[in-house]
Amino acid sequence: MSDTLYLSLWYPNLRLAALPDKLTAVLGAFAAHGGERGVYAATVWPISWGEAPVFQRVWGRATTGVEPRQAVEEAIELLHDDYAYEFQIGWSLWELEGGPAAPSTRQSSAGVTGNQSDAAQLDPRWVRATRLVRVTGFGPLFDEGAYEQEGHIRVDFGADAPFLEEEAELDPTGARHIEENVRQLVALARAAEKDSGATARLLWSELGESLAQRLAARLGMGN
């Protein structure tokens, strides 16, 4: 079952005025760990997620994005303790193109003719794909102090499928790409923690399941 993966970061006695530097550091860590240098978009949410944004700006992808510092400075012009500041940035992972193949497409072409032979050539393959990751900084009063559970800064990586691909048959190539994705995730989490001066970090899922345990079981199935 696919789950949503998050990274939460906390800072001791964080003053609201220091939040922009922390956000800039976390966004800046992506470039060295499979991410883009430019920020794609920013949104500022007042009071809670149910309210309409008070600021939205889309700069674009890749070369048309803006440096993290510029993106943060534009959004943080509206600095309030009951606001949340959300930024989107690209991050590249190995993913299966076309999803898991049906069992019938994995048979040898020997003794197979016509459409069956063609189907054997349609096995999915691994490609580097870029997803938009959301990095959010929370004011202390936003959503009734959501930062206590969510972190002063929360990174929403989206679906955890690239780290597990539980619906696919896991061969040595797939296991290697999953391992590369996990290593990239861990390296990014460590860099974001170190560069921003966080004193605590937590990698967690929406369903509360352990990614480490699911990954160990998954790779064990593939051996």
The residue whose two tokens read 């998050």 is 6
Q: How confident is the model over 130-145, as a mean pLDDT?
A: 96
Task: Give the pLDDT band (50/70/90) at residue 108.
Answer: very low
Q: Which two tokens stand for residue 157?
A: 């990586």
Q: Give the predicted TM-score (pTM) of the model.
A: 0.85
Q: How confident is the model over 148-156, as a mean pLDDT?
A: 97
Please write the tens of the pLDDT for every residue from 30-64.
999 999 999 999 999 999 999 999 999 999 875 66
Q: Would you say residue 219 has pLDDT above 50?
A: yes
Q: What is the arrangement of strands in the sheet containing 125-138, beginning at the earlier edge strand?
A: 55-58, 35-46, 83-97, 125-138, 153-159, 4-10, 200-205
Helix 19-29 with 68-75: angle, nearest 10 deg: 150
